Structure 1
Amino acid sequence: MSKRTAEEGAAGVPLKSGGRPDAMDIDDKPDMGEFEDEFEDEFESEDEIIEAGVDGRPDAEREAEEAAAMDVDNGPATFIVGRTKLDPGQTLAPDPTTYRMLHNLSTPWPCLSFDIVRDGLGDNRSVYPATMYTVSGTQAEGSKAGDNALLVMKFSGLSKMDGEGDESSDDEDDEDEDADPILESRSIPIGSTTNRIRAFQARPQDASRPPVTLTATMTESSNVLIHDITPHLASFDNPGSVVRPQQNKPVSTIRAHKAEGYAVDWSSLHPAGKLLTGDNDGVIYLTTRSDGGGFVTDTRPFLGHTSSVEEMQWSPSEASVFASASSDGTIRVWDVRSKSRAPALSMQVSKTDVNVMSWSRQTTHLLASGADDGEWAVWDLRQWKPSGTAAAGKPTPIASFGYHKEQITSIEWHPTDDSIVAVAAGDNTVTLWDLAVELDDEESKDTAGVQDVPPQLLFVHYQNQAKELHWHPQIPGALVATGEVFSVFRTISV
């Protein structure tokens, strides 16, 4: 990824981050002239006899035109983002009528990974302009690697599209509706590219004390850095607040890994903090945070994968269980209480690398996976049996889709709707899917001209170099995706 253009400012200075893209268009429309009837003088005399078909034209001419029209109808009339190739000089822009909200925001360097930080502004909110907080890590160019940093960011002024009503109040003042969004950031130097970052809010035993917001960063250096970004977040909304240099230092550094990695996840069921990290050697470590704030990494690794661990997630319902996805094509399920440190379940789910996965928080026996061949699938974990049992064998996904032709780079279930899944892929798209859709016979006829487009596909959003996406847990339907820029959007379909 190359350096992107951005309006740079000093640390903590708001960056004005563009407006909305223009309306979706393909810039190859020819100029249209006046229609001329080439047959207007055909009947100059009532005595003139012409051999013609039912429309007054010779049969041969009419049949030739109909044949040409059929050739056009049978051609690739539907433009499919990520599949149909643009002609030289053509460009794409989004159709604003299909979005409730759409903004692009730029950072000084590209970000491979980010996470959304829960805030105190309320749940299920729909007031515009919207505000959200995120944390990400940069990927600076080779000679500038020392400039890499964590970016604690505040996105504000995220207005709705023209004509979109405010669901929360008819009296909402929309005078700022068309203003550009604002990106404010606090930079934490780390000197290494961030491969993956995850945020967590640790809840103290003393309920009167505020939560502490932590980040875990997997870096190219093989070290895992844990930062307390609580003061950085507070500085956005407390005038005069300053982040001291010592607050930029990690509160803990995990040095157990011998190789860099991409897999990291905090458990949502452990209030103090429980962290999994996995590396390119296939090794997984567990780090636990005490109530006093210290971190201890268990020196006994979880071993079983024969290649790199690409993704890990804790079970949303069982505090001791987690799953891991690997470039060895397997997904394995583990129990941290196991003395053997071996997986309880191991399933071959792809012939290629399994890059990403997502555990449904609404229906916790469902797991979605995305692979290097562009296929993503949904699995029912109740059908998986331990190796060596009579029922063990290759599992069958309850749904699978080969729509994308490039690697799947991110996948995530909707936080409150277990039928909606968002997928990012290397074909520069973010797609939204509704697994509840079933195609009946009548609908099959209507979609017969659109080849290889499943009826479950709800929406396609163009995102150049799409890397990672997340649903906002407190703004229903809002998605954030990182790539060449950060894209913040909500469609009318979700």
Structure 2
Amino acid sequence: MSKRTADAENGDVPMKGGVRPEPMDVDNEMGEFEDEFEDEFESEDEIFEAGVDGRPDAEREAEERAAGAMDVDNNGNGTFIVGRNKLEAGQHLAPDLGTYELLHNLSTPWPCLSFDVIRDGLGDKREKVYPATMYTVAGTQAEGKREKENQLMVMKFSGLSRMERQDEEDSDSDDENDEDADPILESKSIPLNATTNRIRAHQIPSQDGASPPKTLTATMTEAGQVLIHDITPHLESFDNPGTVITPQQNKPLSTIRAHKSEGYALDWSPLVPGGKLLTGDNNGLIYATTRTDGGGWVTDTRAFQGHTSSVEEIQWSPQEASVFASASSDGTVRVWDVRSKSRKPAITVPVSKTDVNVMSWSRLTTHLLATGDDDGVWGVWDLRQWKGGDEKPSPIASFSYHKEQITSIEWHPTDDSMIAVAAGDNKVTLWDLSVELDDEESKDTAGVQDMPPQLLFEHIVEHAKEVHWHPQIPGTLVATGAEFSVFRPIPVVFGVHAK
């Protein structure tokens, strides 16, 4: 990932997040997919399109050449497929803004390899609340001689306005003054001395149930250390102007030094409110760190061992507090029980011939696990079929649409048929596993080669690294790469589908 010029000298001041891309003057010709589960997004969502508009070819082509617009793709079917088709000299891609409910890009002084979305006290199910506000935490990637400039960034994104709809331009709207406003990024920075490989947040509920929760972060750095911070005061400072964060509040609560190499695997247990953390490194070792009753942190020096290469991802079971899974560049996923005295995996399953980079355990259907590998293939596995041994089980779904490594994968928090995937081909894709085309629909889409019917939406993020669903703003996603991208495809009116 390339470096970016700093947008602000002080990370604690509000920064303009940039402007929306210009609309693309093309028609949206994709149809809708029938979905018995009434999925959250329309299927008329291929976001980069090129095609004819009914005018004479000479007139249209002359205008496109003058404007530097894109031509019909190589297949002649009116759909430009990123990674399949090539742009000619002078051509460029622009998003079809008509497919978005929300779309904003926000820049940070340095790009971020990893981030997490933080639950807030603004309420759930706020899909109709504009302008939207959200809170995130991320670690930067400042390399070389400027490595000392790395920081943990606690951020507030606000002023995230809704896209203006064509049929609302002349109507009175309660939020019409919010349309097209520039988003604001406010940040509080905690100095770090190394690049952040992975960061995850965890919230400890207050004892009285009325006060805000304590928000902790675990940051795995390129130096091999894992830092635990309390960012509660940083979050509270956004709503209390003039608050000064003290140097003591920027210091980590604990520094885990058990790892002898750097790593990328990190996860908080969702079933241990006080805080239980797993971390994995490039030596194939996994360590468990637990918060004590007194508020301190203890790391068990007995590592979980079994992988023959680096541990790339760790996920706690959403249902069993003692169970977790790990994915590795040795091509396996292993399932463990922290109560095991042997510290060996209970099940080892080969799922790929190459590195397994990322993994996501469904919170709703807990026998489903999704993985993504270095060849751009991602799949869904039924854990009930895993028996162990050297025989590779068959995934219940597998897709090779992406042509570069899968860098992030995440189940939708409230719909176990929806998955978001990010990859090294600069794409974030949204998938609905419940979609199955009948024979008639298959004929209608037969001209679009290599486009699985389960692919609902494609969004471009330069150097895409991670993607997360926002747990409180339905259908909204945040992705990071060269910059942050906050987007929400146009939601379906539930119960209304093309038949």
- Settle same-fold status: TM greater than 0.5: yes
**1:107 and 2:105 matched:** no
AA partner of residue 97 (structure 1): G
Q: C-alpha distance in 2, partners of 1:228/1:165?
A: 46
Counterparts of 1:378-393 in structure 2, within 5 Å, are 378-387=380-389, 393=391
Q: C-alpha distance in 2, partners of 1:234/1:23?
A: 37
1:88 matched residue in structure 2: 89
Q: C-alpha distance in 1, partners of 2:177/2:283?
A: 54
AA partner of residue 163 (structure 1): R
- Contact 1:27/1:91 (<8 A) preserved: no
CA distances 1:292-348 after superposition (whole Å, capped 9, x unpaired):
210000011000000000000101111111110000000011110111111111100
Q: C-alpha distance in 1, partners of 2:424/2:186?
A: 28
Classify the secondary structure of the residue corresponding to 2:235. Answer: helix
Q: Percent same amino acid among aligned pairs?
A: 73
Moved more, 484-493 or 72-81: 72-81
Displacement after TM superposition at 1:490 (Å): 0.2
Displacement after TM superposition at 1:81 (Å): 2.0
2:417 matched residue in structure 1: 419
Q: C-alpha distance in 2, partners of 1:129/1:367?
A: 35
Q: C-alpha distance in 1, partners of 2:89/2:366?
A: 47
AA partner of residue 325 (structure 2): A
AA partner of residue 312 (structure 1): I
CA distances 1:264-289 after superposition (whole Å, capped 9, x unpaired):
00011101000000000000000001
- Contact 2:201/2:217 (<8 A) preserved: yes
Classify the secondary structure of the residue corresponding to 1:143. Answer: helix
Classify the secondary structure of the residue corresponding to 2:177. Answer: coil
Counterparts of 1:104-253 in structure 2, within 5 Å, are 104-126=105-127, 127-163=129-165, 172-205=174-207, 207=209, 210-253=212-255
Q: 1:336 to 1:75 in 2, by over 3 A?
A: same
Q: C-alpha distance in 2, partners of 1:324/1:266?
A: 13
Q: C-alpha distance in 1, partners of 2:122/2:294?
A: 28
1:459 matched residue in structure 2: 457
Q: C-alpha distance in 2, partners of 1:15/1:75?
A: 43
Q: C-alpha distance in 1, partners of 2:436/2:50?
A: 35
Displacement after TM superposition at 1:198 (Å): 0.2
Q: C-alpha distance in 2, partners of 1:179/1:220?
A: 37
AA partner of residue 182 (structure 1): I
Counterparts of 1:392-431 in structure 2, within 5 Å, are 393-431=391-429
Query: Whose Rg is larger?
Result: 1
- Contact 1:358/1:411 (<8 A) preserved: yes
- Contact 1:5/1:106 (<8 A) preserved: no
- Contact 1:205/1:291 (<8 A) preserved: no
Stretches of structure 2 lacking an aligned partner (at least 5 in a row): 26-48, 61-72, 493-499
Q: 1:210 to 1:120 in 2, by over 3 A?
A: closer
2:2 matched residue in structure 1: 2
Counterparts of 1:261-340 in structure 2, within 5 Å, are 261-340=263-342
Match of 1:468 among 466, 469, 476: 466
Task: Report 1 or 2 for greater relative contact order, CA contacts < 8 Å, sequence distance ≥ 6.
Answer: 2
Match of 2:362 among 360, 363, 379: 360
Displacement after TM superposition at 1:207 (Å): 4.0
- Contact 1:24/1:96 (<8 A) preserved: yes
CA distances 1:369-423 after superposition (whole Å, capped 9, x unpaired):
0000000000000000144xxxx83211000001111100000000000000000
1:450 matched residue in structure 2: 448
Classify the secondary structure of the residue corresponding to 2:178. Answer: coil
1:22 matched residue in structure 2: 22
Q: C-alpha distance in 2, partners of 1:33/1:281?
A: 61
Q: C-alpha distance in 2, partners of 1:113/1:240?
A: 29
- Contact 1:154/1:184 (<8 A) preserved: yes
CA distances 1:142-167 after superposition (whole Å, capped 9, x unpaired):
1100110100000000011002899x
Q: C-alpha distance in 2, partners of 1:305/1:120?
A: 40
Q: 1:164 to 1:384 in 2, by over 3 A?
A: farther
Match of 1:482 among 472, 480, 483: 480
Q: 1:445 to 1:344 in 2, by over 3 A?
A: same
Classify the secondary structure of the residue corresponding to 2:147. Answer: helix
- Contact 2:101/2:491 (<8 A) preserved: no
- Contact 2:371/2:378 (<8 A) preserved: yes
Q: C-alpha distance in 2, partners of 1:164/1:270?
A: 48
- Contact 2:285/2:304 (<8 A) preserved: yes
**1:436 and 2:407 matched:** no
Q: 1:24 to 1:322 in 2, by over 3 A?
A: farther
AA partner of residue 102 (structure 1): L
| Number of matched pairs | 452
Q: 1:275 to 1:79 in 2, by over 3 A?
A: same
AA partner of residue 85 (structure 1): K
Q: C-alpha distance in 2, partners of 1:429/1:137?
A: 21
Q: C-alpha distance in 2, partners of 1:371/1:333?
A: 18
Displacement after TM superposition at 1:4 (Å): 2.1
Q: 1:434 to 1:165 in 2, by over 3 A?
A: farther
Displacement after TM superposition at 1:491 (Å): 0.3
- Contact 1:123/1:474 (<8 A) preserved: yes
Classify the secondary structure of the residue corresponding to 2:145. Answer: helix
Q: C-alpha distance in 2, partners of 1:284/1:156?
A: 38
Q: C-alpha distance in 1, partners of 2:74/2:296?
A: 67
Stretches of structure 1 lacking an aligned partner (at least 5 in a row): 36-71
AA partner of residue 424 (structure 1): A
Classify the secondary structure of the residue corresponding to 1:231. Answer: helix
Q: 1:162 to 1:171 in 2, by over 3 A?
A: closer
Q: C-alpha distance in 2, partners of 1:78/1:164?
A: 23
Q: C-alpha distance in 1, partners of 2:131/2:92?
A: 29
Q: 1:493 to 1:171 in 2, by over 3 A?
A: closer
Displacement after TM superposition at 1:205 (Å): 4.6
Q: C-alpha distance in 1, partners of 2:17/2:173?
A: 28
- Contact 1:81/1:460 (<8 A) preserved: no
Classify the secondary structure of the residue corresponding to 1:370. Answer: strand
Q: C-alpha distance in 2, partners of 1:471/1:6?
A: 27
- Contact 2:315/2:361 (<8 A) preserved: yes
